[in-house]
Structure 1
């Protein structure tokens, strides 16, 4: 088990950090800026006149709280459009919610909808009056974040617009892609601080391991306790976060009761959610020293260097205008040159509001089928989690992979790490003090 003192003390260690860092969410102001600054560009890039988001209670659109309709009770319609060189944001909001929405000063205009009225009918009339050429709606077969319009809402909207205007409805795939894939500098700063905590806690967890006693699940519980004390959430499915694995590859999975032994290479894939908004995705690796060892043996040290070499190749390839598939290819070349086993996973993925966010996929160069997002180009303001891979066979014949996962954002000059990358394996002593 982990040190009893550590388990007790960690419940209190992050209270000061919580008070100073996680107090008041900056999301309201950041959301306002994202709508005013980034959304007009997204509409232009997507070549649509308007974007319509229809919201409702209990089963809301995935982007409801990105546009301001997270509190919808009755149906609400939020419309964003460019017209005559000006950007406009407006909502047709139920009367019971319109006052609070107006007070938030998020949108240019809020039109109250009486309880007997229909927000869908009202926005349809407005769209017909403006005679927009293309109106984007949240239907998508490739991006769940852009697929929030329900079947019945789609039917009601089409009926309200009429057959001719309904022909002008298009998928909001491109609008959502262009908008969500770019993060403001303020958001990147928040993710940078969260990434530092994510990595720090993993190192602290490794320092508490007692070989032959501590299990992978014990390490996961340590990190869960850290999260609870600091008031942060999970970056992905709680049952699989963190994924602590001292044995053979398990992919996306939960930590098991496997006892950590001398000679093990430990992988921890861990992410936190701060302000209930931004997430991290970072992996840290450790080696458990055998009796008499003071450093990792030559083979493990070589595998680690190979993985870092792949990470460096991917990092160097990440520049504005480069396709995601080309970043993956740079890393795969190193894998081939160093004799790594082939792997199914992409080199990297966008990260931000969710662990696998909207943006270019850093994969596909060796895959049977290539995700369309792998053909997308990197741009300034995008944020990624990416791996340097090296995989080999354990004595049992099963595969083991080092995946040196870090977080970066894209600048005009290329990629920039959010926090310093892991350069050395964490060494767990054969007999740590109990």
Structure 2
């Protein structure tokens, strides 16, 4: 999670004038050239995203509705108060709900499939059938379709229910998962008043369905994610190099804002403010202050993410600023990094479909303790959201497990950020403990096989 370090860097925007070369998603070399549009034009990106949407609706949705016993799923929202599931349901050219938008999914069985209706708004590139009210325009009997709004939509929803007569109606209400709690109180009141007890009595929370549909990722999304992760790595590699850092002059805030600016210059976004921290021999965190100048011999840590095509990365890496005469980090620091690598191995091996986040956390911590590693595990799903839909695998302050959120199960075609830290005494620093906090994204395919989205850091980024 983003609060894995006890403080977050809160500093003003410093002007940073270092000359910094560009990076490329196609290579891991700091300073390599990059296309002006690393993922193509917006039109190219939208075409790819639209294919992802159709695959999600045609492949994931029917399976999940049947798994959770939801015959009909009704999702109602208003403009600028969208349900959290909204980004998983709409085309890349749709940025907000239209006035009131109601999506209805009706499972007619394996042969006929899931019917997809939009009561208000458009077809989302042909993914939905749009239902609109018929209004008489003049005395000549001419009728036209009008966009649904207000009470008209509830009437059309009631007609849809009466035509299909579902026995179970799923709605997005949850006291556990924010992702499954998108039906506002006002929307529910309006719906219940219009539909009456005959239909509201058939409603039940669609918690697991909402969570898992947001979490589900397809094969081409995973292919794209490798390139997105590669770009995130390259920005970190350049940020933790002499192209950005001049020991004795550059502050941590300079690196933070260079990262933000670099992402912006590429036409991309991020879902949180990056952070850069320093650990220094003989100094406490309080003595270093909020925005220290980076010095030789410092251990660096960053937390950084990139957002593109609605997908998010989350990466934490370690760096080291070489002292005069050094060509590599001291052996004790490399051993500390290897220890957090080992903890990554453990969580990676324990992560598999069908297990809850709390089960994975417990098994991982038992193995961690048996190997004498002092650390914490606080991994999370990732995808359409940075801290994504699905089971939490610990929190930095909840190592005994996370009731509710941690009890959900991992599914195939889901992604995670394996986030953790190992704390180790470093002989070269007089036994002072160093915290090696790492985070790498992994993908699970349709068979449940876990892969690093790109790779994981096994050596310090070196500032010379």
- TM-score of the two chains, using structure 1 as the length reference: 0.85
How far does residue 396 in structure 1 lie from its aligned partner after superposition?
12
Task: Give runs of aligned pairs for residues 305-316 of structure 1, distance below 5 A.
Answer: 305-316=338-349
Report which stretch shifted further, 214-223 or 388-397.
Answer: 388-397
Kept in 2: contact 1:364–1:374 (CA 8 A): no
Give me the whole-angstrom Cα distance separating, in 1, the residues matched to 2:346 and 2:124: 50
Give the equivalent residue in structure 2 for 1:148.
182
- 1:330 is displaced (CA, Å) by 4.3
In the TM superposition, residue 231 of structure 1 has moved relative to its aligned partner by 0.7
Matched position secondary structure for 2:132: strand
Aligned to 1:233, the other structure's residue is in SS state: coil
Tell me the CA shift for residue 335 of structure 1: 4.0
Number of the residue aligned with 2:392:
361
Q: Using the alignment, how far apart are the partners of 2:424 and 2:124 within structure 1?
A: 59
- CA distance 1:319–1:8, change in 2 (3 Å): closer
Report the equivalent of 2:462: 427
Deviation at 1:214, TM superposition (A): 1.1
Match of 2:408 in 1: 376
Deviations 1:247-289, CA, capped at 9 Å, x for gaps: 4999xxxx952211222211111111002x0110111111122
1:44-90 Cα offsets, whole Å, 9 max, x none, are 11111111111322322233343237554332221001124421111
Query: Cα gap change, 1:377/1:62 in structure 2, threshold over 3 Å: closer, same or farther?
Result: closer
CA distance 1:397–1:217, change in 2 (3 Å): farther
1:73 aligned to which of 71, 76, 98: 98
Q: Which residue of 2 aligns with 1:225?
A: 261
Equivalent-residue separation in structure 2 for 1:368 and 1:166 (angstroms)? 38
Correspondence for 1:192? 226
Match of residue 110 from structure 1: 130
Deviations 1:156-211 (A, max 9, x none): 11111212321211112111123122211111112111111001110011113122
Deviation at 1:406, TM superposition (A): 1.0
Q: Is the 8 A contact 2:37 2:267 kept in 1?
A: no
Distance 1:214 1:364, change over 3 A: closer
Task: Report the TM-score when normalising by structure 2.
Answer: 0.80
**Alpha-carbon contact 2:22-2:34 (below 8 Å) kept:** no
- 2:61 pairs with 1:39: yes
Please state if 1:401 is matched with 2:415: no
Q: 1:232 to 1:374 in 2, by over 3 A?
A: same
d(CA) in 2 for partners of 1:331, 1:202:
28
Q: Distance in 2 between matches of 1:44 and 1:230?
A: 42
Structure 1 Cα separation of the partners of residues 330 and 253 of structure 2: 26
2:141 alignment partner in structure 1? none
Q: Which residue of 1 aligns with 2:137?
A: none
Distance of 2:440 and 2:277 partners within structure 1:
18
TM-superposed deviation, 1:242: 1.1
> Which residue matches 2:116?
89
Count of residues in Structure 1 that have an aligned counterpart in Structure 2: 411
Alignment of 1:302-341 (within 5 A): 302-333=335-366, 335-337=368-370, 339-341=372-374
Q: Quick one: distance in 2 between partners of 1:65 and 1:358?
A: 12
The Cα offsets for residues 130-173 of structure 1, whole Å up to 9 and x where unpaired, read as 22122111222222222221211100111112123212111121
Unaligned 5+ segments in structure 1 are 430-434
Q: In 2, Cα distance between the equivalents of 1:363 and 1:67? A: 29
Measure how far apart 1:14 and its partner are: 4.0
5 Å matches for 1:128-167?
128-167=162-201
User: Does 2:276 match 1:244?
Assistant: yes
The residue number in structure 2 matching 1:215 is: 251
Contact 1:321 1:379 in 2 (8 A): yes
Is 1:16 the counterpart of 2:52? The answer is no
| In 2, Cα distance between equivalents of 1:3 and 1:163 | 65
Q: Secondary structure at the match of 1:24?
A: helix
| 1:415 lines up with 2:450 in the alignment | yes
For residues 178 and 32 of structure 1, do their structure 2 counterparts lie closer, same or farther at Cα, with a shift above 3 Å needed? Answer: same
Tell me, yes or no, if structure 1 residue 289 matches structure 2 residue 316.
no
Q: How does 1:161-180 map to 2 (within 5 A)?
A: 161-180=195-214
Say if 1:43 and 1:81, in contact at 8 Å, map to a contact too: no
- Structure 1 vs Structure 2 CA RMSD: 3.1
Q: Which moved more, 1:398-407 or 1:362-371?
A: 362-371
Deviation, structure 1 residue 126: 2.0
Aligned residue number for residue 432 of structure 1: none
Q: Which structure has more helix as a fraction of its residues?
A: 1
Q: Which segment drifts farther, 377-386 or 194-203?
A: 377-386
Deviation at 1:334, TM superposition (A): 5.0
The answer as to whether partners of 1:318 and 1:410 remain within 8 angstroms in 2 is: no
2:331 corresponds in structure 1 to: 298
